[in-house]
């Protein structure tokens, strides 16, 4: 019969003819591979199989890329926020922090505390050479502490740290400099509504400072709204001579801030109120976690839809291969063997699609910055607006456990999708299939 050529019975072991072949034997793998090979007479099956393969590939790649970008986004934001703001913040109770120098020195000796940074800060309006001005946050810090802020001191774009440490100027972000038309050496006018009290009322305090350094953190909110000023000058400007508003502490392990609290409270030797970075940014990072989980769930549906295409392609394959399956059954192939053949065919599509999607996702994540530049060039504009998305570049950070979860999810759905068509093929009646042959 010509149908025998369609089924590779010449390679069937004697054990298979007796119905005792071991699971996933060489014979079953060979038949599954031949069923997956595209044939001219079965173009429809090949097209549906190809669509299934592409669907799994794109679904897995999209899931890996989106999860990597979400992780990178959270990680970059966390690094920048914690790089500028302390992990623990000490606030005064009962009396002002007029002993901030002594308190800072004592808490700096606590094991695990890297730096204690007294701060004076306040809201103000800044004007420059162009524009109508912008609201800013003025932060007064000691020169020695400013040098230790790697996210700032390590990203000076114009000017120098030495110029700032002379104590007669300020440091601003690149976006503030751009918005106000400032370069190093220019004067920036700082206007505070909490000014001097006169017989005619409170007059705003206005003072100009030379720009000694321009930094770029890569986070637009900070680059456009923060002015760093020497602590002594900030104390004079805000009328809090000899005092600090808070003391920010940087520790070795930000995730274990609770373990530092008792030691810091004891070292302070005065009534204090402490808050940590989790409390101050809880809503923000909780929203990021919820968004990441929602994106994982939504994109998992894409992989599920691709798995449904595998069901469609295998059902069509069973219909096209009904004659060959019937011949295999009459020659001794068991129902379990037939079922394993079609399961391997379905898993084969899922495995190739998953592997290709994994490589595509990996390639995109490794070259995400180059892709961003290409998109900017093609669009003729910045498609990643940092004023909206906080960061200047698209971050991507692959988590090996999440990537493994994506791969396992895709392979599991491919296996489940192959069960129903394989079961139908195994239940095929050879007599009915060959009745009219």
Both structure tokens of 264:
């810091």
DSSP-derived secondary structure for 137-152: EEEEE-HHHHHH-HHH
Question: Which among 129, 7, 151 has a CA at the least distance from the CA of 78?
Answer: 151
What's the predicted TM-score (pTM) here?
0.66
How far is Cα 263 from Cα 421, in angstroms, rounded to an integer?
65
Residue 385 in tokens: 């607006």
Q: Which residues pair with 191 in a beta bridge?
A: 125, 206
Q: How far apart are CA 238 and CA 375, in angstroms?
A: 46
Q: What is the pLDDT along the chain (437 residues), one digit of tens a residue?
A: 334 334 444 444 444 444 444 666 776 767 777 766 666 555 666 677 788 888 888 888 988 888 888 888 777 777 777 777 888 898 888 888 888 899 999 998 889 888 899 999 989 999 988 877 788 999 999 988 998 888 888 889 898 888 888 888 899 999 899 889 999 989 999 988 776 666 666 677 889 999 999 998 877 778 888 999 999 999 988 888 888 999 999 988 887 888 888 999 889 888 888 888 888 777 777 777 787 788 888 888 878 887 777 787 777 777 777 777 777 777 777 777 888 888 888 888 888 888 999 999 999 888 888 887 887 777 776 666 665 555 667 778 888 888 898 889 888 888 888 888 888 777 776 766 566 55
The tokens for 169 are: 């100027």
Q: Is the dihedral of CA 26, 28, 32, 35 positive or negative?
A: positive
Q: Which tens digit of pLDDT belongs to each residue from 334-393?
A: 777 888 888 888 888 888 888 999 999 999 888 888 887 887 777 776 666 665 555 667
Cα angle: 286, vertex 289, 295; to 5 degrees: 140
Query: Could you report the per-residue pLDDT of 302-312, keeping only the tens digit for each?
Result: 788 877 777 87
- CB of 302 within 8 A of CB of 58? yes
Q: What is the DSSP letter of 256?
A: G
Q: Which residue has the tokens 């069901």?
A: 311
Give, in order, the Cα–Cα distances in Å from 226 to each of 58, 189, 211, 245, 305: 42, 14, 13, 17, 48
């Amino acid at each position: 019969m010509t149908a025998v050529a369609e089924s590779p019975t010449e390679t069937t072991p004697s054990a298979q003819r007796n119905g005792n072949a071991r699971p996933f034997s060489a014979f079953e793998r060979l038949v599954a591979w031949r069923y997956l090979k595209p044939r001219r007479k079965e173009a429809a099956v090949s097209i549906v199989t190809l669509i299934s393969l592409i669907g799994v590939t794109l679904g897995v790649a999209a899931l890996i890329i989106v999860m990597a970008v979400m992780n990178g986004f959270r990680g970059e934001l966390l690094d920048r926020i914690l790089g500028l703001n302390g992990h623990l913040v000490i606030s005064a109770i009962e009396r002002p922090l007029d002993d901030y120098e002594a308190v800072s020195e004592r808490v700096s000796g606590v094991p695990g505390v890297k730096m204690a940074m007294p701060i004076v800060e306040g809201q103000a309006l800044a004007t420059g050479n162009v524009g109508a001005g912008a609201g800013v946050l003025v932060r007064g810090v000691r020169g020695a502490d400013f040098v230790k802020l790697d996210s700032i001191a390590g990203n000076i774009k114009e000017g120098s740290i030495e110029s700032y440490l002379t104590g007669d100027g300020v440091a601003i972000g690149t976006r503030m400099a751009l918005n106000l038309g400032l370069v190093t050496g220019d004067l920036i006018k700082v206007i505070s509504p909490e000014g001097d009290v006169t017989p005619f009322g409170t007059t705003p305090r206005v003072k100009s400072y030379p720009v000694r350094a321009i930094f770029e953190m890569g986070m637009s909110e900070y680059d456009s709204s923060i002015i760093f000023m020497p602590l002594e000058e900030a104390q004079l400007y805000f009328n809090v001579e000899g005092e600090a508003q808070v003391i920010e502490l940087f520790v070795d392990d930000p995730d274990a801030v609770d373990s530092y609290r008792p030691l810091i409270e004891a070292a302070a030797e005065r009534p204090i109120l402490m808050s940590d970075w989790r409390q101050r940014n809880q809503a923000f990072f909780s929203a990021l976690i919820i968004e990441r989980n929602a994106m994982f769930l939504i994109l998992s549906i894409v992989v599920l839809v691709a798995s449904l295409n595998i069901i469609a392609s295998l059902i069509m394959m069973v219909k096209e291969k009904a004659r060959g399956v019937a011949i295999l059954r009459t020659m001794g192939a068991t129902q379990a063997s037939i079922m394993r053949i079609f399961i391997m065919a379905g898993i084969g599509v899922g495995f190739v699609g998953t592997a290709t999607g994994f490589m595509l996702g990996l390639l995109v994540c490794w070259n995400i910055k180059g892709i961003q530049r290409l998109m900017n060039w093609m669009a003729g504009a910045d498609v990643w607006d940092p004023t909206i998305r906080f960061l200047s570049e698209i971050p991507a950070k692959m988590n090996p456990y999440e990537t493994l979860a994506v791969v396992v999810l895709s392979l599991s759905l491919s296996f489940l999708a192959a069960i129903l068509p394989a079961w139908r093929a195994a239940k095929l009646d050879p007599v009915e299939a060959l009745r009219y042959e």
